[in-house]
Amino acid sequence: MARVAGSALLNHEGGLHARPSIKVTQLAKRFQSAVWIGALPEGPWIDAKSVASVMAMKLSSPRPLHFAAEGPDAAAAVDALVKLVESDFAGA
Amino acid sequence: MDRDAARLLCLRGTPVSPGLARGPLVLLDEAVRAGARGLNSAGDEAARLRTALEGARGDLQALMASIGGSEGETILAFQVGMLEDAVVTEPALVAIARGEAADTAWRAAMDAQIRGYHEAEDLYFRARASDLRDMRDRVLRHIAGESAAAIAPGSIVIATDLSPSRFLEIDWNGGGIALFEGSPNSHVAMLARARGVPMIVSLERASLLGHEEALLDTDNAVLVASPDAKTSADFRQRQQACELAKADDARYLAARALTAKGETVQVMINVADGSELEALDPAHCDGIGLVRTELLLRNLAELGDEEMQYRAYGRILKWANGKPVTFRTLDAGGDKPIAGYTIDGEGNPFLGVRGVRLSLLHPQVLTTQLRALARAAALGPLKVMVPMVANPRELDRVRALLDGAVAQLRKEGIECGFPELGMMVEVPAAALTIDLFDADFFSIGSNDLIQYITASSRDAGSLAALQDPLQPAVLRLVHEIVAHAVKHDVPVSLCGDMASDVRCIPALLGVGLRCLSVSPSALGPVKGAIARYRAGALEGAQPE
C-alpha cells in the first residue's frame, strides 16, 4: 500500500506539549491507517497514536513536523494532521 | 500463655500528635501489602492490572467532567491518553507474563516513563513527572483494591509515608496513624495535630500482616497490634482518664482567653481546607489566623478557577461570622507539591522555589487568587498573608499585583474589598530585618523559621532534637520581631505549631505575644495554659 507523507510548521508556544500531543494522537486514532510523526523527513518515525511516544519526543518550536501514513485512509490522515498543526491545534 | 498474648506485637515509634486510638488495622501502601496479596497466576495479575487501569480511567473521566474546559482538563486528558497507550501498559503486561506481580510491574513501567520526564531540560516537560506519579499511584491504589472510601472510619492506618491530600481523604474519627518513615514537622503531622488524630512516626519495621486490630498509644510511644485482654482493659481505663482531662480543657474552650492577671489574649485557629470547620463553633475562637489555601486548592484547575475560589473563601468567612480571617496565598512547594505547578525534582525543595517565590513565577495564578480574595473581602473581614517572604521587594511585588487586581475589579464593576496585606515571618533574612518590610501585619511561622534557623530539615525525624522551639536562638528572634511590631503598632501573631504547644505558651506570652493562632484541637489546652500564666506583659520570662 502506498505511503503518504506531508509536513507542517510547528509554531505552538512551548512546542509539542500535553495539549497538542493529545490532539495529535486523538486525531490520528480516528484513522484506520498506521500513522507516524517524525522530527526529520527521513524519520525516525514515531507512532502518532501513542501519546507517551509523541510526548517523549519533547519537541520544541518553531520547527517542521513530518507525518507519514500507510493504509486505506492514509492521504486523509496526513491531510488532517497537517491542517491541525497549521491551525495551531485549534481544531478538535 | 493464652492465644491472645502469643500474637501481641508491640512496636516503638516517635509520637508527633498526642492521643489514644483503637481500631481496625489498615495497611495502606503497596510496600506493606506486597506480601499480603501474594502472587496469583500471570493471567490473574494481568486481569488485575487491566481492571485497575479501567478504574483509574473512570476516576479521571469523572474528574474531567467535573472540571470542564481548562488547563486541568488537558492534564487529565493526557493521563487518560497515557493509560490507554500500549507503549505504557505493554511493558507492564510483559513483566507480568514473566511472573511479576501487577503492582510491581506497573510501578516499574511507570517509573521508566517518569524518569524520561524527570531528566528533561525543559521545565514544562519536567513538571509532567509529577502528573505521571499521580497517575501511577492512582492505578496502584486500584490494584491494592482500596480507595479512601474503603478505609473504615476510625481505622489505625499504617503506611510508609502519607501525603497531606491522602490524609484529608480519610475519615479519622477515633482512628490514628503510624508511619514507618515521616517526621514530626511534615505537613501531615501538622494536619494530624490540627484534627486531633493521634500519630506516630519512625515506627519500628515489622510485618503487621495478619493483625486485625491495634492500639495507638502516644503516651508510651507504641503501636500495639492484636492487644491481649489485660492491655486492652488498661488502655480503656487510660482512654477514660484522657476524656476527663479533655473535659477539663473544655471548660476553657468556650471562654475568652485571659491570663491569671486578667490580660486578654487573642486565640485564633489554623484551617486547612475548611472542611474541619463544620465540627467547630466560631464562638470558641477570635477568628481564623491562617487558612492554608494550598490545601484548599489541590490542582491546576482549581488554581485557575476564580469563581470556585471566591465561593470557597466565602464559605469560610460565613462560618467566621464577622470575625477576621487571614488567608495565606498559595504556599506550594517544599513538601506540598501541586502537579503541573510546583517544580519537580528540586535538589533541596525547602530551600527552593516555594511560597511567594513560586507565586511570583506564576503571576497569573497569583492574580486569580488575589482577585478571588479581594471579591471575598466584600463579604467579611478578610486579610491576605504572603508566605516565605525573604526580602521587601517580594512583598512589594505582591502588593502591586493586589492593587492591580482591585483596580481591575472596580473597573469591571465587580464588588470587592481592599484587604490588608501582611506577611509570614519565617525566613531568617526577613526576621532579622523586620523593620524594612511594609506589611500591614506579621505572623510568625515558627515551623519554617526553626528549620531555617537551626539548618535542620523538618522532614528529618532524627534531627527533631535540634528543633526545640524553646531554645534561645528561636526565642530571641521571636522576641525581636514582637518587640518591633509592638513598638510600631503593627499587629503580630504566631501561627506555627509552637502556639499549639502548651509548654511554649509561657515563653510566648513572656516575649509579649498577645495573639496566637493554633490547631483547632489545641484551643482548650492553650486557653487553659494562658489562664495559668501569672506574669504581665513586661514581667514575663525574657529570653536568655
Say which CATH number the domain at A70 has.
Answer: 3.30.1340.10
Q: Are the C-beta atoms of A57 and A46 separated by less than 8 Å?
A: yes
The answer to whether position A91 is within a domain reads: no
Q: How many interchain CB pairs under 8 A, A with B?
A: 43
Query: Do B332 and B223 fall into the same domain?
Result: no
Mean pLDDT of B36-64: 81
Distance from CA of A75 to the nearest CA of B (A): 24
Mean pLDDT of B447-469: 85
Could you say which DSSP state residue A37 is in? Answer: E
The answer to whether position B489 is within a domain reads: yes
Q: What is the pLDDT of residue B113?
A: 87
pLDDT in tens, B260-305: 888 999 999 999 878 788 878 999 999 999 999 988 887 788 888 9
Cα dihedral B399, B400, B404, B407 sign: positive
Query: Do B387 and B519 fall into the same domain?
Result: yes
Distance CA B154, CA B19 (A): 13
The answer to whether position B116 is within a domain reads: yes
Distance from CA of A51 to the nearest CA of B (A): 6
The answer to whether position B420 is within a domain reads: yes
DSSP H/E element including A44: none
Distance CA B68, CA B302 (A): 11
Query: Do B445 and B508 fall into the same domain?
Result: yes
Amino acid present at B14: T
pLDDT in tens, B99-149: 988 989 999 999 988 888 877 777 677 767 777 887 888 898 888 775 544
Q: What is the pLDDT of residue B184?
A: 76
Mean pLDDT of B505-512: 95
Closest CA in chain A for residue B88 = A52
Query: Which residue did the predictor score with more confidence, B541 or B515?
Result: B515
Query: Do B159 and B283 fall into the same domain?
Result: no
- Structural domain total, chain B: 3
Q: Are the C-beta atoms of B201 and B184 separated by less than 8 Å?
A: yes
The answer to whether position B544 is within a domain reads: no
Query: Do B64 and B183 fall into the same domain?
Result: no
Last residue of a domain, one of B143, B165, B182: B143
Query: Which residue did the predictor score with more confidence, A61 or B542?
Result: A61
The answer to whether position A70 is within a domain reads: yes
Q: What is the pLDDT of residue B371?
A: 97
Domain range for residue A33? 3-86
Last residue of a domain, one of B219, B241, B263: B241
Assessment of whether the complete model's pTM goes beyond 0.80:
no
Q: What is the pLDDT of residue B210?
A: 84
Angle at B208 between CA B207 and CA B212, to 5 degrees: 165
Q: What is the pLDDT of residue B247?
A: 77
Query: Do B174 and B222 fall into the same domain?
Result: yes
Query: Do B226 and B296 fall into the same domain?
Result: no
The answer to whether position A92 is within a domain reads: no
Mean pLDDT of B82-106: 92
Distance CA B141, CA B345 (A): 23
Query: Do B356 and B425 fall into the same domain?
Result: yes
Last residue of a domain, one of B180, B209, B241: B241
| Structure-block grid coordinates of residue B375 | 471579591
Q: Do B78 and A60 touch (CB under 8 A)?
A: no
Listing from the earlier edge strand, what are the strands of the sheet with B20-27?
B9-12, B222-225, B213-217, B20-27, B156-159, B176-179, B199-201, B14-17
Nearest one of B364, B388, B368, B386 to B376, comparing CA atoms: B368
Cα dihedral B244, B249, B250, B252 sign: positive
Low-confidence ranges of chain A (pLDDT < 70): 1, 91-92
Q: What is the CATH number for B184?
A: 3.50.30.10
Mean pLDDT of B72-84: 81
pLDDT in tens, B213-253: 999 999 888 999 999 998 999 999 888 888 877 777 778 88
Q: What is the pLDDT of residue B491?
A: 97
A25 touching B (Cβ < 8 Å): yes
The answer to whether position B305 is within a domain reads: yes
DSSP H/E element including B320: helix B306-320
The answer to whether position B348 is within a domain reads: yes
Q: What is the pLDDT of residue B72?
A: 61
Around Cβ B165, how many Cβ atoms within 10 Å? 18
Query: Do B278 and B390 fall into the same domain?
Result: yes
Domain range for residue B193? 3-27+153-241
Q: Are the C-beta atoms of B116 and B26 separated by less than 8 Å?
A: no
Q: Do B116 and A56 touch (CB under 8 A)?
A: yes
Bond into A44 cis (ω within 30):
yes
Distance CA B320, CA B380 (A): 9
List the catalytic residues of B: 187, 495
Q: Do A60 and B122 touch (CB under 8 A)?
A: yes
Distance CA B96, CA B82 (A): 19
Q: How do strand B20-27 and strand B382-386 relate by DSSP bridges?
A: unpaired
State the pLDDT confidence band at B359, using cuts at 50, 70 and 90: very high
- Structural domain total, chain A: 1
- Chain B contacts of A14, Cβ < 8 Å? 124
B81, B116, B124 ranked by CB distance to A51: nearest: B81
Q: What percent of chain B has pLDDT over 90?
A: 51
Q: Do A22 and B128 touch (CB under 8 A)?
A: no
Q: Do A17 and B86 touch (CB under 8 A)?
A: no
Query: Do B224 and B275 fall into the same domain?
Result: no
Query: Do B172 and B292 fall into the same domain?
Result: no
A14 touching B (Cβ < 8 Å): yes
Query: Do B205 and B270 fall into the same domain?
Result: no
